[in-house]
Amino acid sequence: MGNVTIRILARHLQLSAATVSKALADSHEISGPTKKRVLEMAAALNYTPNPYASSLRRKKSRTIAVILPEVADSFFSQAINGIEAIAQDKGYHVLVCLTHERTLKEQAILHEMLGGRADGILISVTSETTDPASILELQEKGVPVVFFDRVCEGIDTARIVTDDAQSAYKATDHLIRQGCKQIAFLAISEGLSISHQRIEGYKQALTAHGIRFNGSDIIPCTHDAEENLRSLKKIMRQQHRPDGIIASVEKLAVQVYQACREENIRIPEDIKVIGFSNLVTAAYLNPALTTITQPAFEMGRAAASLLFKALGNKSFSLSQNIQVIPSELQVRDSTH
């Protein structure tokens, strides 16, 4: 059977479409017996209200959108679980939209959201994002936006972040205390807020230990796995190879293991490794990986809670609402 519309219902009932519509909305203008006839026919014809049409009337989608780079990273998959835990309680649907680190894709998704597909947005921006215009536009339309983890400067709204600078400081400090003298920092986009913060923490720890910062120890990585592996293997073959390495995202930590294996470099004897990672397998790797573990689930929960506060109360301001949930250094064999 095709789509049963109010018009089709009306024809079967020999009523006007307006009457059917009012009856379905339980309007006081329509008599009890008529409502009953309409509901029976609606059930018989398997009528479903078109959510686009009813969203148009209610101006509510009862949906929130989560926009993030990818799900093949434990941080994001755990954050989604935190967000869903809250949304479930509120009876909201969650749409997950992936940008694959492309700012154009992100803009297209944000543009789609302009017209009411979601009542509110949680976003962790791409590593390419510099232009806040699409997000500002949503805010101007009254759609609340909350950042988690990766924020976009120039937008005044709530941000749920972790202590990126302090975590990188702790990671660097730990490597130095374990005897490292030359620590490489594997970075993704330096334009990204979290990347910038982590590099700052790394530099501060070096300074605190009287080690001179060397720009060439910041290794720019990309989202191309093969390209990263090539650079990492090149580093492992250098005469003055680093004796410590900080992988600022999860994938890079796994690639360090791969490069070390292929170049016969032993972890931790030849090089000590720390990763910013929520990998569930971290403790079972060979050797077990020392991690900066981010509070992914809690960050997702906190971001969703703030968004629902804004959705529930028009006068609640998200402005300058910053929550910092600390990450944790978990020492394992890779830095022994």
Shortest CB 140 distance to a second copy, Å? 6
Binder among 30, 41, 64, 97 for a second copy (CB under 8 A): 97
Q: With CB under 8 A as the rule, give the number of residues binding a second copy.
A: 58
Q: Is 74 in the site for a second copy (CB under 8 A)?
A: yes
Shortest CB 238 distance to a second copy, Å? 22
The two structure tokens encoding residue 332: 């394992």
Listed ranges 16-24, 34-42, 75-83, 312-320: which one lies at the site for a second copy (CB under 8 A) = 75-83
Place of tokens 């947005």: 121
Comparing CB distances to a second copy, the nearer of 240 and 284 is 284
Comparing CB distances to a second copy, the nearer of 211 and 288 is 288
Question: 45 near 24, Cβ under 8 Å?
Answer: no
Shortest CB 258 distance to a second copy, Å? 7
Question: 127 near 114, Cβ under 8 Å?
Answer: no
Listed ranges 108-116, 172-180, 230-238, 314-322: which one lies at the site for a second copy (CB under 8 A) = 108-116
Give the integer Cα–Cα distance in Å for 334 and 336. 6
Question: 187 near 199, Cβ under 8 Å?
Answer: yes
Q: Is 305 in the site for a second copy (CB under 8 A)?
A: no
Residue 292: partners with Cβ closer than 8 Å, 6 or more residues away: 167, 168, 170, 171, 274, 275, 276, 277, 327, 328, 329, 330
Binder among 37, 287, 309, 329 for a second copy (CB under 8 A): 287
Binder among 53, 133, 208, 324 for a second copy (CB under 8 A): 53
Q: Is 245 in the site for a second copy (CB under 8 A)?
A: no
Q: Is 96 in the site for a second copy (CB under 8 A)?
A: yes
Give the integer Cα–Cα distance in Å for 232 and 268. 16
Shortest CB 102 distance to a second copy, Å? 9
Residue type, 207: T
Q: Phi and psi dihedrals of 169, rounded to 5? A: -60, -50
Shortest CB 82 distance to a second copy, Å? 12
Residue 8: partners with Cβ closer than 8 Å, 6 or more residues away: 45
Q: What does the DSSP 8-state code read for residue 284?
A: G
Comparing CB distances to a second copy, the nearer of 99 and 166 is 99
Half-sphere exposure of 224 (CA within 13 A, CB side): 5
Q: Phi and psi dihedrals of 121, rounded to 5? A: -130, 135
Binding to a second copy (CB under 8 A) within 138-157 occurs at: 140-142
Binder among 8, 17, 94, 325 for a second copy (CB under 8 A): 94
Residue 167: partners with Cβ closer than 8 Å, 6 or more residues away: 198, 201, 276, 292, 294, 326, 327, 329
Binder among 25, 133, 208, 280 for a second copy (CB under 8 A): 280
Shortest CB 18 distance to a second copy, Å? 17
Residue 151: partners with Cβ closer than 8 Å, 6 or more residues away: 125, 159, 161, 193
Give the integer Cα–Cα distance in Å for 48 and 3. 8
Greatest extent of the chain over all pairs of C-alpha atoms, in Å? 89
Listed ranges 64-72, 192-200, 215-223, 299-307: which one lies at the site for a second copy (CB under 8 A) = 64-72
Q: Would you tell me which residues interact with a second copy (CB under 8 A)?
A: 1-3, 46, 48-56, 70-72, 74, 76-78, 80-81, 84, 88, 93-98, 100, 105, 108-109, 111-112, 114-117, 137, 140-142, 251, 254, 257-258, 261, 279-281, 283-288
